[in-house]
Amino acid sequence: MIFETTQTFVSNTLETDREGYSVGNFAPGRCSETIDSTCLGGDSGTEPYIVTHHLLLAHAAAVDLYRNAYKDDQNGEIVITLISRWFEPYSNTEADKKAAQRAQDFFLGWYMDPLTSGRYPESMRSLVGRRLPEFTEEQSRLLAGSFDFVGLNYYTTNFAADQPSSHLNPSYETDANVNYLSEETSNLLPKNLSAQSERSKTSSKSLETQRLGETDIRGVFERDLHQQDIHGGPATKETRDQPTGKKTRNRREKEEARKR
């Protein structure tokens, strides 16, 4: 965390919590053996939640220190940067609509709810149960409102389909009871979907851009509305938008510039 004269940027993302402690892709490479037997130990059903909990507490403590000891002199702003997606229901069924909301809770709400209300989303508290740490009253007080605006790294939109709960091998990856889908993976759902569900799926897809991996303007718009409705409208700023085409184009332009 760096204190500057104009702004203070704090980064707190799923890259540390999920990738490092749930699936083991990033350092320290921890996860349950049922997720990946090559992980360096770990528990995907508890460690991601513990890590996030303490990241949030560290953020709140740093913000409290800055506001009490430095802000008057430096007049800085507190900015926390999060990773975000948007989730569309896979069909118009109530089950899939609720799955899309749970997906939001387990991605963005995991951080934003404590930052605005001092509590984790109700769906997380219900589904994760005792594996999800709790905030004390004092911790909740420090967390709520511990930012001036929010930076969002927004990448893409996914479909969210309801998935039956499994009490075997609890994991952050399955706790939300959601099957996360793109256009390419949507055919992995059971083939016996009703005709109504199939029509609903087609209708839902028609609302999306042609490719979910490209810049999804509707997802950005819907996500910002969701932010205002659920989290009281904290100021947001896009900190990174990384559609595949743009990233490739920028890299190609840099290579051509070096050749010249």
Separation of alpha carbons 157 and 177, rounded Å: 18
- Single-letter residue type at 227: Q
Report pLDDT for 150.
Answer: 87
Which residues are CB-neighbours of 254 under 8 A, at least 6 positions away? none
Q: Go through the domains of the chain in sequence order and give each one's CATH number.
A: 2-255 (3.20.20.80)
- In sequence order, the β-bridge partners of residue 9 are 2, 79
pLDDT at 166: 76
Of residues 258 and 176, more confidently modeled: 176
DSSP per-residue letters across the chain:
-EE-SS-EEEE--HHHHHHHHTS-SSTT----TTT-TTSSS--TTTHHHHHHHHHHHHHHHHHHHHHHHTHHHH---EEEEEEEEEEEESSSSHHHHHHHHHHHIIIIIHHHHHHHHSS--HHHHHHHGGGS----HHHHHHHTT--SEEEEEEEEEEEEEE-----SS--HHHHT-EEEE-TTTGGGS-TT--HHHHHHHHHHHHTS-S-TTS--HHHHHHHHHHHHHHH----EEEEEE--HHHHHHHHHHHHHHHH-
Find, among 65, 89, 91, 88, the residue nearest to 78 by Cα: 65
Q: pLDDT-derived band of residue 241, with 50, 70 and 90 as boundaries? A: very low
Predicted local distance difference test score (pLDDT) of residue 185: 58
Q: Which residues have a Cβ under 8 Å from the Cβ of 12 and sit 6 or more positions away?
A: 55, 56, 59, 80, 81, 82, 111
More confident residue, 86 or 229: 86
pLDDT-wise least confident of 9-13, 58-62, 154-158, 180-184: 9-13
The pLDDT value recorded for residue 19 is 92
Q: What angle do CA 177, 179, 180 make, to 5 degrees?
A: 125
Structure confidence at residue 15 (pLDDT): 74
pLDDT at res. 79: 86
Amino acid at 130: R
Quote the tokens at residue 161.
């389909």
Mean pLDDT of 2-25: 70
Query: What is the reported pLDDT for 177?
Result: 97
Give CA–CA dist 89/233, Å, rounded. Answer: 23
On the question of pLDDT at 234 being above 90, the answer is no
99 has pLDDT over 70: yes
pLDDT at 247 over 90: no
Mean pLDDT of the chain: 76
231: left (phi over 0), alpha (psi -120 to 50) or beta: alpha
The pLDDT, as a whole number, for residue 167 is 76
Which pLDDT value is given to residue 216?
Answer: 45
The radius of gyration of the chain from alpha carbons, rounded to an integer in Å, stands at 20
Q: Between residues 76 and 155, which one has the greater pLDDT? A: 76
Contact 116, 145 (CB under 8 A): yes
pLDDT band at 56 (very low <50, low <70, confident <90, very high): very high
- pLDDT tens profile 147-201: 998 888 888 889 999 999 877 899 999 999 999 997 655 555 544 343 333 433 4
The bridge status of strand 149-162 relative to strand 236-241 is parallel
Question: Pick from 1, 2, 11: which is nearest to 150 by CA?
Answer: 11
Q: Mean pLDDT across the stretch 127-144? A: 97
d(CA 159, CA 223): 14
CA atoms within 13 A on the CB side of 192: 0
